[in-house]
Amino acid sequence: MKNKYLFGGIIIVVFIGLMGYLVTQSSIKYENNINKIKTENKTVKATGQWVREKDYIYNLKNRMFTFYMKDEQGNQMKVVYNGAIPNNFKSAQSLVVSGKYQNGYFKANSILTKCPSKYEGQKIQSSGI
């Protein structure tokens, strides 16, 4: 009988711990100010643009993708991502990188790209009926 209560208590503790972890992960905030990102001591979703003038580097052997990102004020930071270059990286209008600033660069866990829509700027023509 004691084993049932002990087992049930362990399940409850694990469940509460898991819920606590999930709540902290869902509270990741978006930040578009690179100077603030550099002072944060937690995971953030940084938004900005690729600094095309500095190009990018992809180390095939280590699968390490490195580029520079800038915010609306022109502040820049180095971004390092272990993984493949996103397919539409070169045509992206803006980027969202999730991760943490540490050791002088932003260590990205994921990269999302926002590309121009093929429908933007097109005018709808009336048929004149």
In a domain, 59, yes or no: yes
Cα dihedral 78/80/84/90 (nearest 10): -10
- 50-95: per-residue pLDDT in tens? 999 999 999 999 999 999 999 999 999 999 999 999 888 988 889 9
**CA-based R_g, the chain, Å:** 22
CATH of the domain at 69: 2.40.50.140
Q: Whole-number mean pLDDT of the chain? A: 84
In a domain, 2, yes or no: no
User: Residue 59 sits in which domain range?
Assistant: 29-114
**The whole model's pTM is what?**
0.69
Number of domains observed in the structure of the chain:
1
Flag whether pLDDT at 27 surpasses 70.
no
DSSP-assigned letter for residue 64: E
In a domain, 94, yes or no: yes
In a domain, 18, yes or no: no
